[in-house]
Amino acid sequence: MSVAAVRPAVDRYLAVLRRPSVAFALGASVVGRLHESMIAFGVILVVTADGSYADAGWVLAAYGAGGIVAAPASARLADRLGHRPVLAVTAVGHAAAVLALARGVGPLLPVAVVAGLLTPPLTPALRSTLPRLVGDELRLTAFALESTVQEVIFVAGPVVAAGVAWLAGPEAALVVAASTTVLGVTGYLIAVGRADGRTGHAAQAEAPSGDGRSLDPREPLATAEVLRLMAGAAGFLLVLSIAAVAIVAAASGPSARAGSGVLLGLSSLGSMLGGLAFGARARVPALPRRFVALAGGVAVTAVVAPLAATGVGVVMLGAAVLIYGATIAPVGTVLFGRLSEVAGTSRATEAFGWMGAAMGVGGVLGDAGGGWLATVSPTLGLAVAAGAALATAVVVRARRTPAV
């Protein structure tokens, strides 16, 4: 991005952050979603203290299954009953269940399912509220900023969990995860409440303008375009999950090394940079092009992966992963922006809940398939991920897909 283009980009992001309570809401949402990257690590620490990695895997699978089921259900309740009561109740219930996991209260598998089922729909709530807080003209920039900020969750969460566990024991990591959920949700509700108080909540009655085709509240949510976007969300996480395992395997060999986490950090850093640059645009290419770019980023990593056995090769792999990372956030930005337009105000939270479930399914399939592919060949895993991105580009291609 040229120097001349930097100032308008910065101005767009500042315009988003200057809207009432937006910065507070985004910051609180990061705190409230830290559990997304803390609980898995905390569960592994707690369960393997007396059990095995296989036992921990079953607990995490139970937690994930509960989350996939809950995502659309809790989001739909939030649309019908209001964000405040649903977020408040689920935050407290989720925290209590996570604390029970930490203390070993009751059988772990049922408690993990309950914790997953009570996951607060904070992400769909935030994404459905952002257009109302910032206005239609800054919608895309706001989603780009949210996608970029979300990377902080996956960078900071494991570090916080590891530090807490080292200082106070494995259970403390889950205790902190439960506490941040309640703290973050409370802060988010305060921020949005203040914004609504200033605007009189009038904006909530307005459907986003978009292309004029947002859903009527009486329409079925599962329209052809919504289903394409859900398939895109599942394909997106499928690609990311396969690629993550393959990158670790390429850098580590048969046994994962802690240092390979630096490469995953580079992909997050690349995503932050790519998301910020991409979100400064007022209009962007259609969604299939974003998946083609994602496929290109994965393909670059696949080409370099066989060289990772040497010191220079690892550096080259790090550069390739950074390039790949820069293609990640733009995909999420267009997915979220397009779904927000199609769903409209009255159905947005539920729609984002379903998208979260679709992403969860893609992530589960990618984790399982990626692990198997990585044992055969990390390069093969990356090649399959690139192919999956191209296949998803075909799936999400509508007959007429307007620019967002």
- Dihedral of the alpha carbons of 334, 335, 338, 343, in degrees to the nearest 10: -160
Give the pLDDT score at 394.
95
Residue 353, helix vs strand vs coil: helix
Global pTM value: 0.75
CA separation for the pair 394, 228 (Å, rounded): 10
**Six token digits for residue 324:** 């790949």
CATH topology of domain 211-404: Growth Hormone; Chain: A; (1.20.1250)
Q: Which of 285, 340, 292, 286 is nearest to 134 (CA)?
A: 340
CA separation for the pair 218, 211 (Å, rounded): 19
| Phi, psi for residue 255 in degrees, rounded to 5 | -115, 130
Residue ranges of the domains in the chain?
1-206, 211-404
CA 106: distance to chain centroid? 30
Residue 45, helix vs strand vs coil: helix
Q: Are 34 and 157 in contact (CB under 8 A)?
A: yes
Give the pLDDT score at 207.
37
**Six token digits for residue 69:** 């089921």
Give the pLDDT score at 292.
96
Per-residue DSSP letter, 402: -
CA 321: distance to chain centroid? 18
Give the pLDDT score at 368.
76
Q: Was domain 1-206 assigned CATH 1.20.140.10?
A: no
Q: Do the domains 1-206 and 211-404 sit in the same CATH topology, yes or no?
A: yes
Low-confidence ranges of the chain (pLDDT < 50): 202-213, 400-404
